[in-house]
Amino acid sequence: MAQSTSAPVTAFLRHHYRHFNAAALIDAADGYVRHLEAGNKMMITLAGAMSTAELGLSLAEMIRQDKVHAITCTGANLEEDIYNLVAHDHYARVPNYRDLTPQDEQALLEKHFNRVTDTCIPEAEAIRRIEKAILDEWTAADQAGESYFPHEFMYRILLSGKLEEFYQIDPKNSWMLAAAQKNLPIIVPGWEDSTTGNIFASHVIDGNIKNVHTVKGGIQYMMYLADHYTEVTKNSSMGFFQIGGGIAGDFPICVVPMLHQDLQRTEVPLWGYFCQISDSTTSYGSYSGAVPNEKITWGKLGIETPKYIIESDASIVAPLVFAIVLGQ
């Protein structure tokens, strides 16, 4: 592809990133661009704590420019982007986190800091601020006998404007806000394994929420994804850009074998592109460490599906791939 002086990041990468994982990054990004230029769609999956890594700095622009058309993420990534939006100035960074003693960790707990590697999330300013806003939405839906997906409740509190007074970053750097403004399809498997999921459970236990199904769960998400994937792939191919592994990656990719094998919808195409960024080395029985070709045996990818794997830190790699896709 042609170099462009108006795209300095891309020019730098093309000049220096020529071998090994660096070359894989270029190949994957170029494959992503080709996939979109052919009129196709892309899903991005977010594992780990990519929101706390502030991936929104690049992902939000990807959403605004229609470079991503659906997201599957953990409940942690769903909520932590909003935590960062409303409490960024109260976060604490611990560069020497590898040297912390158990006593140091206890001191952080007593200051109501929840540590994610080198970054500490402030409980009062982040978690409890979101709890108050979303509890109002849960309670209203519960009393009306309605139910919504976890991401839909998050969209409601963002679009209502009730959090705007607390914004501590430029809102254009929040990927959740960008997604809400586009009503982007989001799938959140295992949402209950998140701080907000735990909070919801506590309110059901204490009786504030009467119906546990006020927040829809994983089976309903799979049904939603099956309908969405079937509809989208009538006219285009859906690609799969996987950041990390775990349930955020395995849950959505399984929609294709489910459609084929369990629903006999054999006319639905396989995923049309696959890339995984992972620092998990190939290992015995590991999903995150499985090579892409293993997915052929599960009916997720085909022999001809473009497949890429970049074995590196996603907090470094993903913004660089996005820069190429965005033409930066």
Q: Is residue 143 part of a domain?
A: no
Host domain of residue 234: 8-87+123-130+149-192+213-326
What is the pLDDT at residue 2?
47
In Å, what is the CA distance from 83 to each residue of 8, 37, 127, 184, 299? Answer: 32, 35, 7, 20, 37
Tokens for 73, please give them: 């993420």
**Residues facing 303 on adjacent strands:** none
What is the pTM for the complete model shown?
Answer: 0.96
Q: Is residue 113 part of a domain?
A: no
pLDDT more than 90, % of the chain:
93
What is the pLDDT at residue 188?
98
CA–CA separation, 59 vs 205, rounded Å? Answer: 36
Q: Is residue 112 part of a domain?
A: no
Give the residues of the chain that fall short of pLDDT 50: 1-3
Q: Is residue 156 part of a domain?
A: yes
Q: Is residue 204 part of a domain?
A: no
Cβ burial, residue 168 (10 Å; 0-12/13-18/19+) = middle
Q: Is residue 229 part of a domain?
A: yes
Rounded to the nearest angstrom, the gap between the alpha carbon of residue 170 and the centroid of all alpha carbons in its chain is 20
Q: Is residue 140 part of a domain?
A: no
Q: Is residue 92 part of a domain?
A: no
pLDDT digits (tens, 9 = 90+) for 211-252: 999 999 999 999 999 999 999 999 999 999 999 999 999 999
CATH number, domain containing residue 41: 3.40.910.10
pLDDT digits (tens, 9 = 90+) for 22-53: 999 999 999 999 999 999 999 999 998 999 99
How many domains does the structure of the chain reveal?
1
DSSP 8-state symbol, 125: I
What are the helix (H) ranges across the chain? 8-16, 20-37, 56-64, 75-87, 102-110, 129-144, 150-159, 175-182, 195-205, 218-232, 246-253, 255-257, 314-325
What is the pLDDT at residue 1?
47
